[in-house]
Structure 1
């Protein structure tokens, strides 16, 4: 039995890139195929939308897009670094299926931020981060909202547009719970090494800062005790040598006394 996605693709003369998995079946992802051409796609006559609530329409979209494989490759200096699911591949999969079910995904609120940055070679760049609230409308006009964030670096004026397309891709893939068919990341494991111990002298500026709260001073004392550095000798605020643990306690008491 063909899926709605397959019938839509056949109507447009395309090879479909989505697969439906029946309950109880074991799914094996096929090799990624070329992106379909959606430019001439229109719903077939007589395929009216079912007037169902938006959450039902969205579930039908999810049902018909069983997976989107990592069919795009990042290439650097002529060598492939990794595979990924790009924006065009994601939209190509969601476009006809959302149209079939009368679903629209519309940006409702866009909150951008920008800052100057540099590439690894020191080239000036512009970093764009965009938080978008999306409204997913169903055929009856009801909707639900979801949020996603995109981030990009660009040399010219395309950073915001890139960040928005990334945010849209994330919203569709995460909101649709769309797997890749690739091996799970938990199949590999890297053990984390011990974090480097912060040196006692690095706390001095924070301890001497009159704006450091009593709670933070207690936390510093705890961190120094945990790393067994309470007895480390440092040069205090008046130039004398003092154990840093004693210094934290003394300054904490002085500030507490001064506030009475």
Structure 2
């Protein structure tokens, strides 16, 4: 007799589940989570196409469609709380924008990266991004707006995450959708000591003609925050120069040339 046959013989009738019980679900794999489906949002496009109105009127019409978005998602790691993600925003703003002939397009993306560590010493990379969007109306005119996003990632998804946060922020803030989020000062994040980027590592980026004045201003801020503005480096022509003076000089030249 096999072990399975012995077990079946020894089992009492009240140990057995009812015959109509469903099969038990397979155990969840590590890191998996249950994702609730997004509700269907149907905002019909008017017959003959969207109304031909200025962009600010078209966006106001979109705002009229999007009055509230509930916090239907819940974190799976760390402190438990409900939140509204970028998919929640797109699920509602997408149909509303299509109905009123509105396009929300990224026009310029300005990323910045920094190596960091968690409080447990794990290596991560911080991405902060400033995205300039253009909101086009049905007549082709547009509004230009900006939104920032930030992410910490241990892999290669930091840029995508930061841009998703920027888009979510734009839609919720420009759409004036109430968040009921806690005040930013109500929460703190424990972050480990970050590696300080040496001043010499900025020289090539500063001298690169593709580096925008906005990025140069950010570099100046980073150097100031690490007390390195006076560090001597070899500049683009081979002379010794304080890096703070170099970044200011080149930043003024780029601005005068019409750079953004």
The TM-score bracket by the shorter chain reads 0.5 to 0.7
Q: In the superposition, relative to structure 1, how do residues 99 and 158 fare at CA in structure 2: closer, same or farther (>3 Å)?
A: same
Structure with greater Cα Rg: 1
SS at match of 1:81: coil
The yes-or-no answer on 1:124 pairing with 2:127 is no
Q: Which whole-Å deviations, capped at 9, do the CAs of 1:135-157 have from their partners, x for residues lacking one?
A: 00000000011111000011111
Tell me if 1:72 matches 2:73. yes
Tell me the distance in 1 between the aligned counterparts of 2:169 and 2:161.
Answer: 12
TM-score by length of 1: 0.53
State the TM-score, normalizing by the size of structure 2. Answer: 0.53
Question: Is the CA contact 2:46–2:99 (under 8 Å) kept in the aligned structure 1?
Answer: no
In structure 1, the partner of 2:175 is 176
Q: Which ranges of structure 2 fall in alignment gaps of 5 or more residues?
A: 1-35, 187-228, 230-260
CA 1:58 to 1:84, structure 2 compared with 1: closer, same or farther past 3 Å? Answer: same
- CA–CA separation in structure 1 for the residues paired with 2:164 and 2:45: 29
Deviation at 1:34, TM superposition (A): 4.5
Residue aligning to 2:11: none
Q: CA shift at 1:36, angstroms?
A: 2.8
1:118 Cα deviation after fit: 1.1
Cα-Cα RMSD: 2.7
Deviations 1:171-220 (A, max 9, x none): 0000110114x5x758xx98xxxxxxxxxxxxxxxxxxxx9xxxxxxxxx
Check 1:177–1:100 CA distance in 2 against 1; reply closer, same or farther (3 A cut).
same
Q: Supply the distance in 1 between the matched residues of 2:61 and 2:40 (Cα, whole angstroms).
A: 22
Paired positions, count: 152
- Matched with 1:55 is 56
- C-alpha distance after superposition, 1:69-111 (max 9, x if no partner): 111111226xx61111111101101000000000000001100
Specify the SS of the correspondent of 1:75.
Answer: coil
Kindly indicate whether the alpha-carbon contact (under 8 Å) linking 2:45 and 2:98 is maintained by their aligned counterparts in 1.
no
- The reply on whether 1:36 has 2:35 as its aligned counterpart is no
5+ unaligned residues in a row in structure 1: which ranges?
1-32, 191-210, 212-260
After the TM superposition, list the runs of 4 or more consecutive aligned residues in structure 1 that deviate by more than 6 angstroms. none
CA distance in 2, matches of 1:163, 1:176: 20
* Structure 2 contact 66–92 (Cα < 8 Å) conserved: yes
1:240 paired residue number: none
Correspondence for 1:113? 112
- Counterpart in the other structure of 2:153: 154
CA shift for structure 1 position 167 = 0.1
